[in-house]
């Protein structure tokens, strides 16, 4: 369950940012999570809800998750396509010379704070 570690890292990042920007309370945090990141959204939200109650800065915060689609690039035909739908084989030319462009990330997009 790596969701726990990611939640703790996000919370530490927010707690480190708070004094620098005179933040006393965080209302919401929006995360961008790639659809092939391996993060289980329900478990992630459960971990967030458990730990936010133990952090005064975050206890009233809402977690918002935006799912980023996975996109793969084919080096042979130079086209992009939906990773989840087609996997590693390019649907246009059949090549396996592909790599993931987006869809594996997890980042803080926005923080609403006082």
Instruction: Provide the residue ranges of all domains of the chain, joining segments of one domain with +.
Output: 3-113
- Alpha-carbon distance of 85 to 62, in angstroms, equals 31
The list of the chain residues with pLDDT below 50 reads none
What residues contact residue 3 under an 8 Å CB cut-off, 6+ apart?
A: 39, 40, 43, 44, 47
Q: What is the pLDDT of residue 1?
A: 53
Q: Are 80 and 69 in contact (CB under 8 A)?
A: no
Q: What is the pLDDT of residue 113?
A: 92
Given this structure, which CATH class describes domain 3-113?
alpha beta
Q: What is the pLDDT of residue 52?
A: 92
Q: Are 26 and 13 in contact (CB under 8 A)?
A: no
What residues contact residue 66 under an 8 Å CB cut-off, 6+ apart?
A: 30, 31, 32, 33, 109
């Amino acid at each position: 369950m790596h969701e726990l570690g990611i939640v703790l890292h996000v919370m530490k990042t927010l707690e480190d940012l708070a004094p620098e920007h005179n933040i006393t309370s965080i209302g919401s945090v929006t995360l961008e999570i790639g659809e092939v990141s391996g993060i289980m959204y329900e478990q992630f939200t459960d971990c967030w809800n458990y730990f936010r109650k133990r952090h005064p800065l975050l206890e009233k915060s809402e977690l918002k998750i935006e799912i980023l689609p996975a996109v793969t690039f084919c080096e042979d035909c130079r086209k992009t396509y939906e990773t989840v739908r087609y996997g590693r084989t390019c649907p246009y030319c059949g090549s396996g010379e592909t790599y993931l462009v987006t869809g594996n990330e997890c980042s803080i997009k926005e923080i609403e704070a006082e």
